Amino acid sequence: MTRKLTEEAAAEEGAGFRSGFVPLVGRPNVGKSTLLNRLVGYKVAIVSPVPQTTRNRIRGVLTLPDRGQVVFIDTPGIHKPKFRMNRRMVSLALDAMAETDVILFMVDVTQRLGPGDRFVMRQLRAAGIPTFLLLNKIDLVRKDALLPIIDAYRKEMEFAEIIPISASDGTQCEHLVDVILKHLPVGPAYFPEDYLTDQVERFLAGEFVREKLLYHTRQELPHAVAVRVESYKEEASLVRIQATILVERENQKAIVIGKQGSLLKKIGTEARLELEEQLGSKVFLELWVRVEPAWRQSERLLDELGIRAS
């Protein structure tokens, strides 16, 4: 993990300024991306009703002038490995926890504590790092339903803090930030104040395309797609982006393209409009579809897509 100290950051290193890297773990769909988006006020990770859409380690940086900087790591979730890709995700997530002072373990209060949560908690206990239990989606349950839930988790492991929140309406989210800061050591800002994410815009471009793609094809190809941004060029009056949608089979390619290219066109338009809004610039987006058989198993391609085990 690079911890670059910029000049502005060094200047900010006053007394009491706290900073650290804070992984956010938990089962798919508990609301990790929603919280991250709320806290850093920027769409760094896509939010989708399909589980496991966040495949990369995306950091959001929250800087509170004079108080501190929290570098959030939205991990893909440390769930049981199935495919090779998922095994890499597990090691990525565990790796992300190695140098941290606090880990946020998020659960969904509308779901029962299950084997997936136990699996995650086993990793957390082994890591031995202070862990916050974030009980998310409290907007969906009655207050008195929380106590038995808290008890159930407490039986599994010891938590440094237990904080009920609602990532979607913001309840207790400011309090959460206060408590996180308390647990972080005094230290420098790692990124400039206006830094939103250390993934460059081209990564966002790929994510937007993937988000639209998943939205429109979720019935037919749940996870068999990836998007590779081939080029990203900022020109005088527009940003020119070329991306390839990777599918595993010919029939999936046909689905993505649609009748006379209609779906591909729709995906392209929607992604472009969103990108233009995020980038504040005109965007020219060119999309290709390519069959890469069994890309999930391909280490080479995983590397190209930025999914790395270390």
Give the binding site for ligand GDP (CB under 6 A): 26, 28-34, 47-49, 54, 136-137, 139-140, 166-168
Query: Quick one: 12 or 274, whose CB is closer to Mg ion?
Result: 274
Helix (H, G, I), strand (E, B) or coil at 264: helix
What residues have CB less than 8 Å from 261, skipping those under 6 apart?
none
Q: Are 22 and 160 in contact (CB under 8 A)?
A: no
# chain residues binding Mg ion, by CB under 5 A: 3
Helix (H, G, I), strand (E, B) or coil at 135: strand
Q: Are 289 and 264 in contact (CB under 8 A)?
A: yes
29 binds, among Mg ion, ligand GDP, none (CB under 5 to 8 A by kind): ligand GDP
The 8-class DSSP code of residue 140 comes to G
With residue 89 as reference, give the H or E element that holds it: helix 84-97
Q: Does 56 bind Mg ion (CB under 5 A)?
A: no
49 binds, among Mg ion, ligand GDP, none (CB under 5 to 8 A by kind): ligand GDP
- How many Cβ atoms from other residues are within 10 Å of residue 112's Cβ? 10
Q: How far is the CB of 204 from ligand GDP (least distance, A)?
A: 16
Query: Quick one: 85 or 255, whose CB is closer to ligand GDP?
Result: 85
Compose the 1-40 pattern: x for residues touching Mg ion by CB under 5 A, - for all others.
-------------------------------xx-------
What residues have CB less than 8 Å from 122, skipping those under 6 apart?
none
Give the residue nearest to Mg ion (CB): 33
Q: How far is the CB of 74 from ligand GDP (least distance, A)?
A: 7
- How many Cβ atoms from other residues are within 10 Å of residue 274's Cβ? 19
Q: Does 244 bind Mg ion (CB under 5 A)?
A: no
Q: Does 54 bind Mg ion (CB under 5 A)?
A: yes
148 binds, among ligand GDP, Mg ion, none (CB under 5 to 8 A by kind): none
Q: Are 62 and 38 in contact (CB under 8 A)?
A: no
Query: Quick one: 217 or 244, whose CB is closer to ligand GDP?
Result: 217
Runs of H (alpha helix) within 4-47 = 7-12, 32-40
168 binds, among ligand GDP, Mg ion, none (CB under 5 to 8 A by kind): ligand GDP
The 8-class DSSP code of residue 31 comes to S
Q: How far is the CB of 125 from ligand GDP (least distance, A)?
A: 21
The span of 47-55, 164-172, 191-199, 235-243 binding Mg ion (CB under 5 A) equals 47-55
Query: Quick one: 18 or 212, whose CB is closer to Mg ion?
Result: 212
Tokens of 258: 């649609």
Q: Does 100 bind Mg ion (CB under 5 A)?
A: no
Angle between helix 250-257 and helix 201-217 axes, rounded to 10 deg:
90
User: Which residues contact Mg ion (rule: CB under 5 A)?
Assistant: 32-33, 54
